[in-house]
């Protein structure tokens, strides 16, 4: 197909788990002739949906890795990214949103806007991704698209504008009325592939006309031509409406709302049309890179194919033939045989095989042009790396990477597993910046760290299945921290004169808590009581104590050290002596400075049917959760709380059993806060 | 550190706690956009600083938005030296507040009582005062107010409301603004926020003697004296 940047769409499908995004993607691929049979997410045929390529995803019916796929619709080239909906995998979602130009926000016609939809929406907002909404599952019992549209306005603050009216609802859902063309559309054939256009059913004419009026009124803000046509009472054409909706959507000032049922093959094709009509092409989006040679000054990127290459590696996957690196090309053309530079490592790479992905199947291509998403083979890099032409010095903006809050010890017995585990961990840490690993020097255990229980669970499962690692896990550990709560003086002499050269150093000063910084060191020594050449040794000595606090051996943060006096010996003082003196001074001051433990507090949002409000609050309360508030919205209630991570292990199971599986929750890191005294004592005992 | 000493903050010149008794109603009435919610938040904060637990019920805003009101107002109070927290971290005030939101048309006393029991029976939160923001105070809520009154008396809770008034409607016979005069009998204290020129005046229509020095600073929405 001929390259035309205006006919490219890089689209993400973002939604809450189980709202049907994988099913919708599957239908997209079917209608665009990329696949020839439809498989369900948890289908009876055992094949599983095409986009859920990871075995684990198929089994759990959830999407973990964001597989990218390509399809064509009405002469337009669409790159689809299937994104995970669970908050624990948000780095995946965020990475996808970084490279996407537009998104479809799927909402469930029954469940409506749920807590995870809110998280996903917040991420879209952060990356300013224009979106259209699709209210799925209109065939289900209890489907109420009007309520969902209202929630889209109230809960997510979108200017949601309805573009379709459902014909029938729940089991009677037959099709939709398109408010632009004012026609009814029905979906015939075995898989809804035959579109039948009819007159609007008589009982829906009034509703459709009044909603069309509302639509025109709403979108007239985005088009002078339309406003003029309204004022002059001249004909309002479909083109005018489409152009106004597109302007409003691209400016993120409105969200067009579509509806249907992907599972029942209804109203998927109009959504594909909407992707083309209302979501941006790469040309509509301004992308910036940072000029590393000019103090990271932003540089606007062109979309020219002949300009130097700027591309971002946004996802890595370990395939059968080695590492597969998904890239988005922002500027220039990446072709086979080209040489590009990885700005992070400075290494040059020769581009070998280039492919376009269709979930887990590949299609070889000769180049990836500006605006396109594709994949490279056999390139060693990490996720988030920027590839550029050799003479450039640009990096794409770095992505926000949160610190991990939970850790887990991995225990393996046999050597084969140990080797495979090492391979797997190496892969995972490259793929996912929020997943970290290290070996605990004391216990010699391999520790993995991540953003939540499920996050780590999935990696452990992947190790077992994909890498055949026989691994057991220890109890999850919380990343506690220590800090001090008051100012304390120190004055420590380090003196050693037994055997060999003597050691002498005295360090005096004070330490005090600071809120915004991890560690501050200030030298106020006057008169050379500590010779200048030993000041940096003192800093090193203090800094070395930060890794493991003297109180309970957790990392120390929020501390300011000021040294203002000391003493040295002409022969016995050395760098080592002052480092030891500083360590002694730290211990001395620290114990006087009322050290305390801080623990990660999570923001927990539970969405539950109102009748379970009480039990859910009880559960949170038992877990030292502080309930901030509850929001009642018809039959559902949302409870917001702040709870310590240490108490939240296994919460999903308890929540499910207490609410007949009807409640769900999201959890994300909120802040570090002081552990209550009684709990601190328990931690101390352990 | 899980407790803090009481902090002296009584923006209305008298102890906020003494303005109405348990089981009584107070209302803050004003036209739209004058600052009823921020006024109520300051009333709530004065209770919280005196270690009284406030159940804040909103019928139009989300939990997030109300939390933000509290955060911003408290920050302004500290920044402008109106309140001295004596080093108390702001977080320690949070256990003294619980936010509940309902849709206006969905606010029915039985629903509220059920939610109230959810938090009180498990001793998750035992409020000392209720703030109800966004309930229309007019002829449509006369019966509901009577029900709330009975509940407040039964639970020994003072209740603060906000009420929307219209300047283009005739006031009641005694000059009480419309439509509030329809339900004014239920209230023991009524404060009207009156924007005049560049200030918003705080006028006690009922319950307390007027202190002409108390006003709301329209730039920060803070209640100030003189």
Cα A121 from Cα B45, distance rounded (Å): 32
Considering only residues A78 and B88, tell me which one the structure prediction assigns the higher pLDDT: A78
What burial class does residue A430 get, using C-beta atoms within 10 Å of its C-beta: 0-12 exposed, 13-18 middle, 19+ buried?
buried
Query: What does the longest C-alpha to C-alpha distance in chain A come to?
Result: 103
B124: distance to nearest CA of chain A, Å? 7
Residue B62 CA from chain centroid, whole number: 16
pLDDT at A61: 40
A424: its two tokens: 């797997």
Task: Report if residue A310 sits inside a domain.
Answer: yes
**Tens digits of residue pLDDT in A460-490:** 988 888 888 998 888 777 888 899 989 999 9
**Average per-residue pLDDT in chain A?**
84
Query: What does the longest C-alpha to C-alpha distance in chain B come to?
Result: 54
Tell me: do A466 and A493 sit in the same domain: no
In the predicted structure, residue A445 carries a pLDDT above the cut 90: no
What burial class does residue A190 get, using C-beta atoms within 10 Å of its C-beta: 0-12 exposed, 13-18 middle, 19+ buried?
exposed
Mutate to test the interface with B, among A156, A484, A627, A640 (most CBs of B within 10 A): A627
Partner-chain residue, chosen from B63, B95, B117, that has the shortest CB–CB distance to A640: B63
* CA atoms in the 13 A half-sphere facing the CB of B178: 8
Q: Please enumerate in sequence order all residues whose Cβ is within 8 A of that of B75, keeping only pairs 6 or more positions apart, or say none.
A: none
Tell me: do A383 and A470 sit in the same domain: no
Tell me: do A535 and A621 sit in the same domain: no
According to DSSP, the residues that pair with A355 across neighbouring strands are: A364, A375
DSSP A267: S
**Tens digits of residue pLDDT in A590-626:** 999 999 999 989 889 888 888 899 999 999 998 999 9
pLDDT at A36: 58
Task: Report if residue A173 sits inside a domain.
Answer: yes
What CATH number should be reported for the domain holding residue A585?
A: 3.30.230.10
Among A82-86, A117-121, A371-375, B128-132, name the one with the lowest average pLDDT. A82-86
In the predicted structure, residue A660 carries a pLDDT above the cut 90: no
Question: With contact defined as beta carbons under 8 Å apart, do A622 and A661 qualify?
Answer: no
Q: Which of the four pLDDT bands, split at 50, 70 and 90, describes residue B2?
A: very low
Highest mean pLDDT range out of A114-128, B57-71, B142-156?
A: B142-156
Q: Which of the four pLDDT bands, split at 50, 70 and 90, describes residue A383?
A: confident
Among A341-345, A397-401, A520-524, A661-665, name the one with the lowest average pLDDT. A397-401
Cα B201 from Cα B29, distance rounded (Å): 12
pLDDT at A242: 93
Please give the residue of chain A at the shortest CA–CA distance from B116: A614
CB contact B121 to A (< 8 Å) = yes
Among A613, A600, A611, residue whose Cα is nearest residue A667: A600
**How many CB atoms lie under 10 A from the CB of residue A390?**
11
Question: With contact defined as beta carbons under 8 Å apart, do A33 and A269 qualify?
Answer: no
Task: Report if residue A359 sits inside a domain.
Answer: yes
Tell me: do A471 and A513 sit in the same domain: no
In the predicted structure, residue A46 carries a pLDDT above the cut 50: no
What CATH number should be reported for the domain holding residue A638?
A: 3.30.70.240
B54: its two tokens: 């406030």
Among A217, A243, A214, A246, residue whose Cα is nearest residue A149: A214
pTM above threshold 0.90: no
Cα A106 from Cα A16, distance rounded (Å): 8
* Domain end point (choices A562, A593, A624): A593
pLDDT at A93: 62
Cα A332 from Cα A449, distance rounded (Å): 38
The single residue listed with the structure tokens 């996903």 is A120
Q: Which of the four pLDDT bands, split at 50, 70 and 90, describes residue A287?
A: confident
Decide if A629 and B122 are in contact by the 8 Å CB cutoff: no
In the predicted structure, residue A554 carries a pLDDT above the cut 60: yes
**Interface contacts A/B by beta carbons within 8 Å:** 63
Question: What are the chain A neighbours of B54 within 8 Å (beta carbons)?
Answer: none
What CATH number should be reported for the domain holding residue A314?
A: 2.40.30.10
Interface of B with A in 71-100 (CB under 8 A): 91, 94-95, 98-100
Q: What angle do CA B47, B49, B53 make, to 5 degrees?
A: 50
A46: its two tokens: 């055992």
**Average pLDDT estimate for A524-536:** 90
Tell me: do A128 and A213 sit in the same domain: yes
pLDDT at A180: 93
Task: Report if residue A551 sits inside a domain.
Answer: yes
**Tens digits of residue pLDDT in B84-101:** 877 666 677 888 999 999
Tell me: do A266 and A292 sit in the same domain: no
pLDDT at A89: 54
* Domain end point (choices A263, A284, A305): A284
Q: Which of the four pLDDT bands, split at 50, 70 and 90, describes residue A320?
A: low
Tell me: do A246 and A263 sit in the same domain: yes
Question: What are the chain A neighbours of B133 within 8 Å (beta carbons)?
Answer: none
Partner-chain residue, chosen from A627, A630, A632, that has the shortest CB–CB distance to B106: A632
DSSP A269: H
**How many CB atoms lie under 10 A from the CB of residue A150?**
16
In the predicted structure, residue B209 carries a pLDDT above the cut 90: no
What CATH number should be reported for the domain holding residue A38?
A: 3.40.50.300
Tell me: do A294 and A376 sit in the same domain: yes
Task: Report if residue A631 sits inside a domain.
Answer: yes
3-state secondary structure of B69: helix
Question: With contact defined as beta carbons under 8 Å apart, do A561 and A483 qualify?
Answer: no
Question: Over pLDDT 90: what percentage of chain A?
Answer: 30
Considering only residues B9 and A661, tell me which one the structure prediction assigns the higher pLDDT: B9
What CATH number should be reported for the domain holding residue A427?
A: 3.30.70.870
Tell me: do A91 and A233 sit in the same domain: yes
pLDDT at B4: 64
Q: What are phi and psi of A403, to 5 degrees?
A: -75, 140
Could you tell me the residue range of the domain that residue A327 belongs to? 288-396
**Average pLDDT estimate for B161-183:** 85
pLDDT at A37: 57
**Tens digits of residue pLDDT in A326-371:** 889 999 999 998 999 998 888 898 988 898 877 556 788 899 999 9
Cα A346 from Cα A369, distance rounded (Å): 23
Cα A632 from Cα B57, distance rounded (Å): 11
Q: Please enumerate in sequence order all residues whose Cβ is within 8 A of that of A356, keeping only pairs 6 or more positions apart, or say none.
A: A70, A362, A363, A365, A374, A375
* CA atoms in the 13 A half-sphere facing the CB of A578: 25
Task: Tell me the three-class secondary structure of A207-249, residue by residue.
Answer: HHHHHHHHHHHHHHHHCHHHHHHHHCCCCCCHHHHHHHHHHHH
Question: Over pLDDT 70: what percentage of chain A?
Answer: 89
* CA atoms in the 13 A half-sphere facing the CB of B17: 13
Tell me: do A221 and A134 sit in the same domain: yes
Cα A537 from Cα A521, distance rounded (Å): 12
Please give the residue of chain A at the shortest CA–CA distance from B100: A630
Residue A298 CA from chain centroid, whole number: 24
Q: Which domains does chain B have, with CATH numbers?
A: 25-225 (3.40.50.300)
pLDDT at B106: 66
Query: What angle, rounded to 10 degrees, do the helices at A613-622 and B109-120 form?
Result: 20
Cα A461 from Cα A440, distance rounded (Å): 22
Among A371, A377, A441, A460, residue whose Cα is nearest residue A8: A371
**Tens digits of residue pLDDT in B12-50:** 888 888 889 999 999 999 998 889 999 999 999 999 999
* Domain end point (choices A344, A375, A396): A396
Tell me: do A492 and A359 sit in the same domain: no
Q: Which of the four pLDDT bands, split at 50, 70 and 90, describes residue A397?
A: low
- Is the peptide bond preceding residue B179 cis, with omega within 30 degrees of 0? yes
Task: Report if residue A225 sits inside a domain.
Answer: yes
Partner-chain residue, chosen from A618, A638, A676, that has the shortest CB–CB distance to B2: A676
Mutate to test the interface with B, among A632, A635, A670 (most CBs of B within 10 A): A632
Tell me: do A165 and A269 sit in the same domain: yes
pLDDT at A34: 66
Task: Report if residue A401 sits inside a domain.
Answer: no
Q: Which of the four pLDDT bands, split at 50, 70 and 90, describes residue A92?
A: low
3-state secondary structure of A64: coil
DSSP A662: -
Q: How many domains does chain A fold into?
A: 5
In the predicted structure, residue A59 carries a pLDDT above the cut 50: no
**How many CB atoms lie under 10 A from the CB of residue A654?**
14
According to DSSP, the residues that pair with A601 across neighbouring strands are: A644, A671
The single residue listed with the structure tokens 């939610």 is B115
Write out the DSSP string of A412-430: E-SHHHHHHHHHHHHHHHH
Question: With contact defined as beta carbons under 8 Å apart, do A106 and A13 qualify?
Answer: yes
Q: SS3 helix, strand, coil % of chain A, rounded to 5?
A: 30, 35, 35
In the predicted structure, residue A90 carries a pLDDT above the cut 90: no
The conformational region for residue A528 under phi > 0 = left, psi -120 to 50 = alpha, else beta, is left
Decide if A618 and B102 are in contact by the 8 Å CB cutoff: no
Question: With contact defined as beta carbons under 8 Å apart, do A150 and A274 qualify?
Answer: no
């Amino acid at each position: 197909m001929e390259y035309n940047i205006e006919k490219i769409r890089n689209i993400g499908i973002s939604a809450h788990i189980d709202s049907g995004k994988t099913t919708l993607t599957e239908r997209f691929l079917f209608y665009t002739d990329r696949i020839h049979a439809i498989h369900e997410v948890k289908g009876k045929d055992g094949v599983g949906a095409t986009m859920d390529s990871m075995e684990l995803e198929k089994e759990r019916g959830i999407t973990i890795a964001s597989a990218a796929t390509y399809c064509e619709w009405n002469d337009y080239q669409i790159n689809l990214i299937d994104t995970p909906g669970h908050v624990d995998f948000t780095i995946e979602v965020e990475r996808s949103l970084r490279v996407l130009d537009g998104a479809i926000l799927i909402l469930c016609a029954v469940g409506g806007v749920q807590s995870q939809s809110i998280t996903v929406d917040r991420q879209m907002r952060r990356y300013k991704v224009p979106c259209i909404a699709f209210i799925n599952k209109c065939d289900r019992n209890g489907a109420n698209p009007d309520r969902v549209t209202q929630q889209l306005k109230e809960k997510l603050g979108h200017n949601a504008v309805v573009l379709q009216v459902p014909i029938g609802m729940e089991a009677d859902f037959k099709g939709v009325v398109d408010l632009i063309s004012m026609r009814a559309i029905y979906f015939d054939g075995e898989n809804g592939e035959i579109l039948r256009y009819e007159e609007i059913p008589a009982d829906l004419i009034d509703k459709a006309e009044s909603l069309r009026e509302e639509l025109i009124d709403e979108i007239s803000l985005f088009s002078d031509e339309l406003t003029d046509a309204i004022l002059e009472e001249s004909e309002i054409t479909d083109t005018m409406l489409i152009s106004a909706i597109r302007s409003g959507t691209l400016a993120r000032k409105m969200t067009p709302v579509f509806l249907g049922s992907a599972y029942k093959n209804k109203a998927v094709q109009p959504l594909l049309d909407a992707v083309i009509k209302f979501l941006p092409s790469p040309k509509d989006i301004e992308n910036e890179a940072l000029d590393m040679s000019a103090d990271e000054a932003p540089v606007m990127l062109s979309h020219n194919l002949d300009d130097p290459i700027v591309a971002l590696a946004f996802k890595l996957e370990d395939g059968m033939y080695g590492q597969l690196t998904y890239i988005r090309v922002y500027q220039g053309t990446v072709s086979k045989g080209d040489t590009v530079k990885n700005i992070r490592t400075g290494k040059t790479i020769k581009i070998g095989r280039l492919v376009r992905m269709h979930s887990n199947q590949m299609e070889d291509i000769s180049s990836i042009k500006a605006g396109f998403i594709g994949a490279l083979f056999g390139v060693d890099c990490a996720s988030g790396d920027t590839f550029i032409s050799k003479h450039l010095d640009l990096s794409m903006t770095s992505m926000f990477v949160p610190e991990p809050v939970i850790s887990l010890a991995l225990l393996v017995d046999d050597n084969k597993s140990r080797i495979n585990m090492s391979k797997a961990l190496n892969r995972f840490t490259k793929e996912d910046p929020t997943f970290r690993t290290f070996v605990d020097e004391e216990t010699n255990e391999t520790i993995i760290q991540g953003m939540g229980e499920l996050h780590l669970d999935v990696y452990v499962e992947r190790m077992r299945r994909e890498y055949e690692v026989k691994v057991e896990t220890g109890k999850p550990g919380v990343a506690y921290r220590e800090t001090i709560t008051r100012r304390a003086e120190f004055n420590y002499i380090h003196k050693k004169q037994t055997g060999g050269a003597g050691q002498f150093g005295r360090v005096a000063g004070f330490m005090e808590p600071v809120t915004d910084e991890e560690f501050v060191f200030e030298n106020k020594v006057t008169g050379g009581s500590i010779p200048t050449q030993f000041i940096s040794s003192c800093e090193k000595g203090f800094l070395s104590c930060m890794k493991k606090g003297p109180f309970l051996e957790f990392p120390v943060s929020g501390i300011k050290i000021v040294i203002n006096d000391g003493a040295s010996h002409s022969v016995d003082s050395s760098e080592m002596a002052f480092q030891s003196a500083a360590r002694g001074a730290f211990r001395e001051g620290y114990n006087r400075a009322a050290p305390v433990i801080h623990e990660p507090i999570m923001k927990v949002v539970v969405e539950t049917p109102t009748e379970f409000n009480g039990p859910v609050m009880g559960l949170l309360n038992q877990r030292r959760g502080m309930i901030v508030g509850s929001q009642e919205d018809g039959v559902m209630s949302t409870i917001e709380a702040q709870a310590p991570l240490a108490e939240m292990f296994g919460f999903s199971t308890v929540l499910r059993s207490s609410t007949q599986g009807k409640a769900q929750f999201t959890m994300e890191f909120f802040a570090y806060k002081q552990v209550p005294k009684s709990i601190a004592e328990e931690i101390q005992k352990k | 550190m899980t407790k803090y000493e009481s902090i002296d903050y009584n923006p209305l010149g008298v102890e906020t706690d003494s303005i109405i008794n348990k089981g009584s109603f107070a209302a803050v009435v004003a036209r739209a956009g004058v600052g009823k919610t921020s006024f109520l938040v300051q009333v709530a904060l004065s209770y919280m600083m005196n270690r009284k637990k406030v159940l804040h019920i909103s019928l139009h805003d989300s939990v997030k938005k109300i939390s933000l009101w509290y955060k911003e107002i408290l920050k302004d109070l500290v920044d402008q030296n109106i309140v001295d927290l004596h080093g108390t971290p702001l977080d320690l005030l949070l256990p003294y507040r619980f936010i509940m939101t309902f849709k206006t048309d969905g606010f029915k006393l039985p629903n509220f009582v059920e939610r109230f029991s959810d938090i009180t029976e498990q001793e998750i939160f035992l409020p000392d005062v209720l703030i109800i923001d966004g309930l229309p105070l007019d002829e449509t809520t006369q019966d509901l107010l009577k029900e709330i009154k009975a509940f407040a008396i039964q639970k020994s809770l003072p209740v603060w409301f906000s009420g929307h008034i219209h300047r283009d409607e005739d006031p009641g016979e005694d000059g009480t603004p419309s439509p509030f005069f329809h339900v004014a009998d239920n209230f023991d204290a009524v404060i009207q926020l009156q924007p005049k020129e560049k200030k918003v005046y705080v006028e006690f229509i009922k319950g307390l003697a007027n202190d002409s020095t108390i006003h709301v600073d329209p730039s920060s929405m803070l209640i100030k004296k003189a």
